[in-house]
Chains A and B, each alone.
Chain A
Amino acid sequence: MLRGICLEVPPGALVRIEGGNGGGKSTLLRLVAGIDAPTEGRVGGRPPRTAYVPERFPVALPLTALSYLTHLGRVHGLGRAEAARRAAHWLDRFGAAGHARTPMAELSKGTSQKVAVVQALLAGPDLLVLDEAWTGLDARARSELDLAVAERTAAGAAVVFVDHDPARLAGVSDAHYRVEGTGLAPVAPVAPVVPAVAPGSRVRIRAAAAPGSVLPPGLSGRPGPDGAVVLTVDAARSDEVLRTLLGARPPWHVRTVEELP
Chain B
Amino acid sequence: MTALLRYQGALLLRSQRWLAPFVAYAAFVAVGIRPGDPVLDSLGYAAAGLVPLAAWLVRICVTNEPGAARDCAAAAAGPVRVHAAALLTGLAGALLTGALAAAAALLVCDRAATGPGAAAVAGALVTVVCALTGSAVGALSGRPLVRRRGYGILAAALGSLLALVLAPSPARGAVSALVSGARSGTAEVPLTALAVALALAAATGTAACLAAARRG
Contacts and interface: CB of A to CB of B under 8 A. Distances in A.
Contacts of A71: 3, 6-7, 10
B5 to A, nearest CB: 10
B7 A74 contact: yes
Contact of A116 (B16, B68, B79, B213): B68
B3 A75 contact: yes
Interface stretch (B47-55, B70-78, B121-129, B145-153): B70-78
A61 B65 contact: yes
Interface in A38-59: 39, 49-54, 56-59
Contacts of A68: 69
Contact of A52 (B14, B65, B71, B214): B71
A36 B214 contact: yes
B75 A35 contact: yes
Contact of A72 (B66, B76, B78, B79): B76
B66 A60 contact: yes
A34 B78 CA distance: 7
A35 B7 contact: no
Given A57-B69, A59-B66, A74 B75 contact: no
B100 to A, nearest CB: 23
Interface residues of B, number: 26
A51 B71 CA distance: 10
Given A36-B215, A63-B10, A71-B6, A52 B79 contact: no
Contacts of B7: 71-72, 74-75
Interface residues of A, number: 34
Contacts of A57: 68-69, 72
Interface string A118-133: 0110010000010000
A176 to B, nearest CB: 23
Nearest to A131: B71
B71 A72 contact: no
Contact of B75 (A34, A60, A67): A34
- B3, B11, B74 interface centre (most CB from chain A within 10 Å): B3
A49 B216 CA distance: 19
Contacts of A120: 72, 75
A90 B25 CA distance: 43
B22 to A, nearest CB: 16
Tell which of A52, A53, A123, A129 has the most Cβ of chain B within 10 Å. Answer: A52
A228 B27 CA distance: 78
B17 to A, nearest CB: 9
A58 to B, nearest CB: 8
A158 interface: no
User: Which of B15, B65, B75, B77 is the most central at the interface, judged by chain A CB atoms within 10 Å of its CB?
Assistant: B75
Given A62-B15, A67-B10, 19 more contacts: A30-B216, A35-B74, A36-B214, A36-B215, A37-B214, A39-B214, A51-B72, A54-B71, A54-B72, A56-B68, A57-B68, A60-B66, A61-B66, A61-B69, A62-B11, A62-B16, A63-B14, A71-B10, A74-B3
Interface of B: 3-4, 6-7, 10-11, 14-16, 65-66, 68-69, 71-79, 213-216
